[in-house]
Structure 1
Amino acid sequence: MRLAHVTDLHFGAEEAAVVKGLRADLIAQDVDRVLVGGDLTMRARDEQFAAARELLDSIGTPWTSVPGNHDLPLDRPARAYGGLDAYRRLIDERTEPVVRDGGLLLLGLSSPRAYLWKGGRLDAGQVRAIETELTADAELKVLMLHHPVFRSPQRPNEALVHGVTAALRAAAAVRTDLILCGHDHVAAQARLPGGMIGVLSGTACSWRVRAGESQSYTVFDLDGDRLTITVREWSGSAFRERSTTGWRRSGDGWLP
């Protein structure tokens, strides 16, 4: 099984050369599915959603998305009353998709909130969704949301999504393997409680990079009880391998 995690595309603040390079590299990686971690747009405008959709459809691979906080309108009344209407209309009517595809079991959760625009939240209903949707056996159980559930070495003072403690407890109880996040625009990995792997992917194609980072995305290769995680980073002319980490599944969860 081969997956790619692409997040924080931020169409409306994209770099055209990076978009072109991202498309070419995702096609070359020949992944089974692209997982899109939110912030497809910069300002939740129709043309920005359309550009994101055009890119994803052009890869020729199944893809699954969750919304990010930038996929809510910036205008507060529109954010409160329209919410994710444009996302549902132009990207996917499901903001919390469940995918069962071969050995993959994926639950996507919508963490943006109009009243917590930056920080996001996972509520009790979403915790119950983790407990019910991720109970079935699968080769790889993946939980995906936009806001982070762990702090990266690059940004150690950033806030975590509200409700993170209950969500992590529920995910560990059903033996989730991977929790995929974005939002912070950095690439990082961590072993989470319960032996789960937490992954942050950087901004895939926008100019909104953090100091010391470039645009990046993540590729996952599962072979039995071994998982290889590769960060692919924009080098100025193409995406290239930045780092590769091997993980092994044990009775105590995943070990690096």
Structure 2
Amino acid sequence: MLIAQISDTHIPLKGKKTYGIAPMAENLVQCIADINQQNPKPDLVLVTGDITHSGQSEEFNHAAYLLNQIKTPFYVIPGNHDDRNLLRSTFDKRSCPVEADKKIDYVIENKELRLIALDSTMLGKPGGEITKVQAQWLNEKLTEKPKQPTLIFMHHPPVNCGVLETNADGFIGKELLGDVVSSHDHIEKILCGHIHLPINTRWCGTVISTAPSLGMQLALDLTLKRESEFFLEAPAYQLHYWTQDKNLITHTVVVKPVDGPYLFENL
């Protein structure tokens, strides 16, 4: 099974650039084209939040038009830049299978890997949150199929990732979430966004993996003293490959023109 993950697309109004300088819509088009030509094709695509830049309905319409070019089923969850209600009303039940007036938590049933979406957003705040109700719901869903390998996907990672700006955003309820996660041994990985960098770390008996942004990568400063800033880089996304041996392998795919390939035996 092959799963593509794109995150933090920050789509602006049509014809605009994000922050006036970042061509995020063009970057998304490039990533979708690359995903569509992958061989084998991904079985599904996860869009892990901050789909829009300002949460406006026009931005959601623009993002939906672009995402609908994906030639495989895709699923969305909100990030802190998104409006949950607009996201729900813009995308149909195929991409956002939830009921009205609820957090966007849902399950994607699959024979090989089961996927559970969690809505970690808080209204008007940049940080993450998992409520007691959500933690109880997650525990119930994980208990239903304790032998089936499962992926959780959400926008905010429930740990500090060594990036000053996102560390400061915080995560309410990470202890609640950690208690649930640590009590189940069939969670292969927790897929997140928000950090604008590809990061992996162990947490509560599983692995947290964050996807890069589609071109606005945050500055990496392990001294945690650098002011908040980002670089314009080539767009990138991740491929999560569930092998026949039941290993989950994550590849980061950078979408840019390169020279090659070159056969070693000919050099």
Q: 2:111 aligns with which of 97, 102, 107?
A: 102
Name 1:88's counterpart in structure 2.
Answer: 88
CA distance in structure 1 between the partners assigned to 2:153 and 2:252 by the alignment: 17
Cα deviation, residue 17, structure 1: 3.5
TM-score (norm 2): 0.76
Q: 2:197 aligns with which of 186, 193, 218?
A: 186
* 2:126 maps to 1:118: yes
Q: Which amino acid aligns with 2:214?
A: A
Unmatched 5+ residue regions in structure 2?
13-17, 99-103, 221-230, 261-267
* 2:238 maps to 1:218: yes
CA distance in structure 1 between the partners assigned to 2:32 and 2:132 by the alignment: 37
* 2:250 maps to 1:232: no
SS in 1 for 2:129: coil
TM-score (norm 1): 0.79
Cα deviation, residue 137, structure 1: 4.1
Unmatched 5+ residue regions in structure 1?
73-83, 241-256
CA distance in structure 1 between the partners assigned to 2:58 and 2:165 by the alignment: 34
Q: Which amino acid aligns with 2:152?
A: L
Cα deviation, residue 151, structure 1: 2.9
CA distance in structure 1 between the partners assigned to 2:3 and 2:116 by the alignment: 14
CA distance in structure 2 between the partners assigned to 1:93 and 1:157 by the alignment: 28
Cα RMSD over matched residues? 2.3
Q: Which amino acid aligns with 1:67?
A: P
SS in 2 for 1:174: coil
Where do residues 1-256 of structure 1 align in structure 2 (5 Å cutoff)?
1-12=1-12, 13=18, 14-29=23-38, 30-72=41-83, 84-91=84-91, 92=96, 94=98, 95-114=104-123, 117-135=125-143, 136-137=145-146, 139-153=148-162, 155=164, 158-159=167-168, 160-175=170-185, 176-194=187-205, 196-205=206-215, 208-211=216-219, 214=233, 215-223=235-243, 224-235=245-256, 237=257
CA gap of 1:157–1:86, structure 2 versus 1, over 3 A, is closer
Q: Which amino acid aligns with 2:24?
A: E
Name 1:76's counterpart in structure 2.
Answer: none
Cα deviation, residue 93, structure 1: 6.1
CA distance in structure 1 between the partners assigned to 2:61 and 2:149 by the alignment: 31
SS in 2 for 1:71: coil
